[in-house]
Amino acid sequence: MVEERADVLVIGSGAAGAAVTKRLTDLGAKVVCLEQGDWVKPQDYPSIRPDWEVALRRGAFHWNPNVRRRPEDYPTTSGGENPPTVMMFNGVGGSTIHWSGAFQRLVPSDFRAKSLDGVADDWPIRYRDLEPYYNLNDREMGVSGLTGDPANPPRPKRPTAPLPLGLLGEKIARGFNKLGWRWWVLDNAIISENYDGRPACQLHGKCSLGCPIGSKASTDVTYWPKALRKGAVLLTHARVSQITVDSKGRARGALYYDGSGNLHEQLARVVVLCANGVGTPRLLLNSKSQLFPNGLANSSGMVGKCLMLHAIRHLVGLFEEPLDGHIGPFGHPILSQEFYETDPGRGFARGYSLLFNRTFGPLDYAWGGLTVHPLPWGAEHHGAMRKCFPRAIPMGILGEDLPEEHNRVELDPEVRDSNGIPAPRVIYTRGENSLKMLAHATLTARQVLEAAGAIEIRERAPSSTAAHLMGTARMGNNQKNSVVNAWNQAHDVKNLFIVDGSSLTTSGAANPTSSIGALALRCADGIWRRRHEWD
């Protein structure tokens, strides 16, 4: 069945798809968005149930689609020396349903890694090009934070005041102060005051499993209500199998399966792909045709390559006195960018952020999710629990992951989803630069915890989870080593735009969600300015 032609077809409703749709609808475009999941009802979030921690290990809200297995999910497979566990969510809002809310921006040097440090590639844009869209995205999403950070360019007053640091934040801040290392209150997309029709955070502390009152800025409660009021059309249970093209090689629309398995084609003058750093290359590679035998927009051969996941590791400090990590929002109250920029004396390029996390509840302690090793059962259990709960502070390392072609997303030759579409296979091997960076960061993280007064420090192995999915349809001026240009327009298909984590040229040492939303808003403006070229 062929649907009525839209001005713009958006595929995916997460951080990028929602922002593109709302911006273009405001400007006057007729926009249709296809989302393979459905709306999530607030009453269904595990965060409102007493057994909420069970969802960390199983059930319909697990981070890993291979464990979750909701009807709208597709399987993922993995390989490489460090095969990753892919973490994402399918539904209205995408993975913003499940994220912690950290809203860190990239810094100016992130856009010039090649020029400054001789690694990776320079972006075809600069921080100043994205800055007004960062600010707009902050207002649309609703952010808590504090202006005046001397380590970053000036920003307008944050929409709401900073979230409370709590005992954990104050203790870690004293550790940074003792070492003389700079830190700042981190922007979080969790509002501390009533804002834009949404209530202030009530400090429940289970944000990662979905915020039932809408204080955390998932796009189902920020962008989508406004976009729908302006006339945007959002079709749920619409799983896209491929992007179609006409005889001239222009994007025609997309084929998708509805919830009953019926095949439809949605036509559009412009197609915007926002399916995340794994889903986007999967669709492009599956969109083969006579004109594009290696996959759509893939004349460079770069679709799916240069996957970046961030270099991530966690340490846990145990303290004498009880703390409050299980109370309050699960965002990151403070961060340090003391080691963010390249220092040749460290033996690696670029750098990392140090952040601390709040904790989950006693069940997570018991099975070793936080404490690294499960607590003993039986007569010794309560004594072991009293020594660590609630006395732990997890210190997170978030390091820049350099783009390397061997890290990639490809189509699995055997595994398929319930509609017969090939599953993505995610191949990843941690690079030498990341390993050196993690070794250095582990030492500095230990120093912070020691300075803060930790009586015991436990180290977890570098993370194999993949939540920050970046680089697989990268932005660049050179058509030979990139997929999209400075406006997220595909080099090969002029009415196809790709904007999500896949379009990031480099990863920086920052949670990518803020940058994804800003890029999406800028992409929407670029599409609108060139609307005379739609037909």
| Predicted confidence (pLDDT) at residue 222 exceeds the cutoff of 80 | yes
Evaluate if residue 436 carries a pLDDT over 80: yes
**Distance, C-alpha 252 to centroid of its chain:** 29
d(CA 198, CA 189): 12
Q: What pLDDT score was predicted for residue 360?
A: 86
Q: Which three-class secondary structure state does DSSP give residue 516?
A: helix
Average pLDDT in the 207-226 region? 93
What distances in angstroms separate CA 71 from CA 177, 239, 517, one per listed residue?
49, 11, 27
Query: What pLDDT score does 1 carry?
Result: 60
Q: Is 297 helix (H, G, I), strand (E, B) or coil?
A: coil
Distance CA 349, CA 493 (A): 34
Residue 229: in which H helix or E strand, if any?
helix 223-229
pLDDT digits (tens, 9 = 90+) for 12-53: 999 999 999 999 999 999 999 999 999 999 999 988 888 888
Alpha-carbon span 99 to 44, nearest angstrom: 17
Q: Is 108 exposed, middle or buried (0-12, 13-18, 19+ CB in 10 A)?
A: middle
Confidence of residue 444 (pLDDT cuts 50, 70, 90): very high
Tell me what percent of the residues of the chain surpass a pLDDT of 90.
Answer: 84
Residues 6+ apart with CB under 8 A from 94: 12, 13, 14, 15, 17, 18, 88, 219, 276
Confidence of residue 534 (pLDDT cuts 50, 70, 90): confident
| Contact predicate 145/188, CB 8 Å | yes
CB distance 190 to 163 below 8 Å: yes
- The tally of CA atoms less than 13 A away on the side-chain side of residue 430 is 21
Alpha helices in 298-426 (DSSP H): 362-366, 381-388
Q: Report the range of poorest mean pLDDT among 152-161, 354-363, 429-438.
A: 354-363
- Residue 186 has a pLDDT of 93
> Which CATH architecture describes the domain 2-358+391-533?
3-Layer(bba) Sandwich (3.50)
Collapse the DSSP code of 373 into the 3-class scheme (helix H, G, I; strand E, B; otherwise coil) and give the result: coil
Mean pLDDT value across residues 90-106: 94
- In the prediction, which pLDDT does 409 show? 98
Residue 535: is its pLDDT beyond 80? no
268, pLDDT greater than 90: yes
Domain extents in the chain:
2-358+391-533
pLDDT of residue 2: 62
Check pLDDT > 80 for residue 201. Answer: yes
The burial class, CB within 10 Å (0-12 / 13-18 / 19+), for 384 is middle
What pLDDT score was predicted for residue 530?
A: 93
Tell me the pLDDT band of 464, cut-offs 50, 70 and 90: confident
- Are 41 and 17 in contact by the 8 Å Cβ rule? The answer is no
Which stretches within 95-222 are classed as H helix? 113-117, 127-141, 166-179
Q: Are 445 and 315 in contact (CB under 8 A)?
A: yes
Question: Of the ranges 93-102, 122-131, 206-215, which is most confident?
Answer: 122-131
3-state secondary structure of 252: strand
Are 498 and 519 contacting, i.e. CB atoms less than 8 angstroms apart? no
pLDDT the model gives residue 356: 86
Read off the tokens for 64: 């890993």
205 pLDDT more than 80: no
pTM over 0.85: yes
Task: List, in sequence order, the alpha helices (H) in 287-355.
Answer: none
Nearest by Cα to 305 from 271, 278, 272 = 278
List, in sequence order, every residue forming a beta bridge with 311; answer none if it has no partner.
Answer: 399
pLDDT in tens, 310-353: 999 999 999 999 998 888 777 778 999 999 999 999 999 999 99
Quote the CA–CA distance of 309 and 465 in Å, as a whole number.
8
Q: Are 219 and 99 in contact (CB under 8 A)?
A: no
Letter for the amino acid at 455?
A: I
- In this prediction, residues 505-522 reach a mean pLDDT of 98
Q: Residue 473 pLDDT more than 90?
A: yes
Contact at 8 Å (CB) between 411 and 284?
Answer: no
Mean pLDDT of 256-281: 97
Contacts of 99 (CB under 8 A, 6+ apart): 208, 218, 467, 511, 513
- For residue range 53-85, list pLDDT tens digits in order: 888 888 888 889 999 999 999 999 999 999 999
Which residue from 295, 231, 213, 208 is spatially nearest to 483, judged by alpha carbons? 295
Residues facing residue 264 across a β-bridge: 256
Band of residue 460 on the pLDDT scale cut at 50, 70, 90: confident
Q: What are the beta bridge partners of residue 11?
A: 34, 273
Q: In residues, how long is the chain?
A: 535
The confidence score (pLDDT) of residue 449 equals: 97
Query: How far is the first Cα of the chain from the last one, in angstroms, to the nearest whole number?
Result: 22
Is 477 in contact with 300 (CB distance < 8 Å)?
no
Extract the tokens encoding 77.
């497979």
Edge-to-edge order in the sheet of strand 408-416: 77-79, 422-427, 408-416
